[in-house]
């Protein structure tokens, strides 16, 4: 093994963030505290990433020694950032898991309004996929099962993202909570 190559690590993800069509931050989690430690540094990095990727038709970008995989949906841009040596397929599996989990919850296109209305659930999903930069899960079905997602059978009531949001611990939904 080459002595100049970095040691393998479980800490795969440096950052994950979601931006709107204008490049404004909606959600961000930075897992490496040495990687852009201040809020100002983070926002500058996000702006550079957005400027480089928002008109591109790719899925991978390289910027400032980082590997960035991304995807857009209607009015959102999803980004997962790893080191330059990181496997793009691993980063892409995180991105796809996040996107597919959100798609199943929203039961339609993932868009800004739905994301903002359900931010607690989005953070729960992110935390089930990544913990401290370590990838925990890449299967959307497993993620949704772990966060206890379920749909209400009557479409007039919409859907309930998570039992903890409705205050329902036992899994029984009181429909008066949904109105």
**Residue range 113-120: mean pLDDT, rounded:** 85
Residue that is written with structure tokens 């739905």 in the block: 114
More confident position, 42 or 151:
42
101 is a domain residue: yes
Both ends of the chain: CA-CA distance in Å? Answer: 61
Asked if residue 117 belongs to a domain, the reply is yes
Residue 80 or residue 3, greater confidence: 80
Question: Residue 8: its pLDDT value, please?
Answer: 63
Q: How many domains does the chain have?
A: 1
Q: Compute the average pLDDT of residues 74-91.
A: 90
**In this structure, is residue 166 part of a structural domain?**
no
Taking CA atoms, 20 is separated from 3, 36, 38, 104, in Å, by: 42, 21, 21, 20
User: Residue 69's pLDDT is what?
Assistant: 95
Residue 170 lies in a domain: no
Whether 178 is covered by a domain: the verdict is: no
Q: CATH no. for residue 67?
A: 3.30.450.60
Give the mean pLDDT of 115-142.
Answer: 89
pLDDT of residue 155: 40
Mean pLDDT on 83-96: 91
For residue range 11-58, what is the model confidence (pLDDT) as tens digits? 789 999 999 999 999 999 999 888 888 899 999 999 999 999 888 778
Residue 39: other Cβ atoms inside 10 A: 11
Q: Where are the alpha helices (DSSP H) in 54-130?
A: 88-106, 112-117, 119-129
Domain around 88: 13-156
Q: Are 37 and 129 in contact (CB under 8 A)?
A: no
Domain presence at residue 3: no
Closest-CA residue to 126 (of 98, 102, 160, 150): 98
Q: For the whole model, what pTM was predicted? A: 0.77
pLDDT at 174 over 60: no
Domain annotation covers residue 161: no
């Amino acid at each position: 093994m080459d002595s100049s190559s970095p040691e393998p690590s479980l800490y795969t993800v440096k950052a994950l963030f979601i931006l709107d069509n204008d490049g404004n931050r909606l959600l961000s989690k930075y897992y490496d505290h040495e990687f852009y430690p201040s809020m100002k540094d983070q926002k500058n990095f996000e702006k550079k990433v957005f400027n480089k990727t928002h008109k591109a038709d790719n899925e991978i970008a390289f910027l400032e020694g980082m590997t960035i995989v991304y995807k857009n949906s209607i009015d959102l841009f999803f980004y997962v950032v790893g080191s330059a040596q990181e496997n793009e397929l691993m980063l892409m599996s995180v991105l796809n898991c996040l996107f597919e989990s959100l798609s199943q919850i929203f039961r339609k296109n993932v868009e800004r309004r739905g994301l903002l209305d359900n931010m607690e659930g989005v953070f729960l999903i992110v935390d089930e996929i990544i913990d401290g930069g370590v990838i925990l899960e890449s299967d959307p079905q497993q993620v949704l099962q772990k966060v206890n997602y379920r749909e209400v059978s009557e479409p007039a009531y919409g859907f309930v993202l998570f039992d903890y949001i409705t205050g329902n611990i036992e899994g029984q939904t009181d429909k008066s909570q949904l109105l």
